[in-house]
Amino acid sequence: MPEVSAKRERLELPRLYINIVGMRTVISNFKEIADILNRDPQHILKFLTHEMATAATFHDSRAIFSGKFKRDSFQRLLERYLQNYVICPVCKRPDTKIAKDKRLIFLECNACGARSSVKQL
């Protein structure tokens, strides 16, 4: 059983820095968000592009989306990503990692040791 973290504070997402340039939306602190969530930026980008039904690229710590989108759309989707792929469903802590076992993907909690399956992207 892993050592339980003493911190009980909730994971706080930083403010999204969004710029709309022509018909593109740029999140300039995308890498920072991925680092705070302890996830691969490509995994988060894949989730967002799937949910928003648009194309996107990750370049120089920025995510560039095709189309004009508002900050609250990204904020809602990141909250959903947090619930599905970061927060442990058993102990409700963000101390998790994504592990692949054969063709299945699991969310493994470092705090309580729980292992639950998650939907593949």
Residue with the bigger pLDDT between 102 and 11: it is 102
Separation CA 21–CA 8 (nearest Å): 39
Residue 41 pLDDT level (bands cut at 50, 70, 90) = very high
List pLDDT tens digits, range 49-77.
999 999 999 998 999 999 999 999 999 99
| Stated pTM of the model | 0.85
Residue 109: phi and psi, rounded to 5, are: -90, 130
Residue 8 has pLDDT above 50, yes or no: no
Separation CA 55–CA 65 (nearest Å): 6
Summary mean pLDDT of the chain: 87
Instruction: Answer for the pair 110, 38: CB distance below 8 angstroms, yes or no.
Output: no
List pLDDT tens digits, range 90-114.
888 888 999 998 889 999 988 888 8
Residue with the bigger pLDDT between 60 and 3: it is 60
Q: What is the DSSP letter of 110?
A: T
List pLDDT tens digits, range 14-27.
889 999 999 999 99
Residue ranges and CATH numbers for the domains of the chain are 16-86 (3.30.70.3150), 89-121 (no CATH)
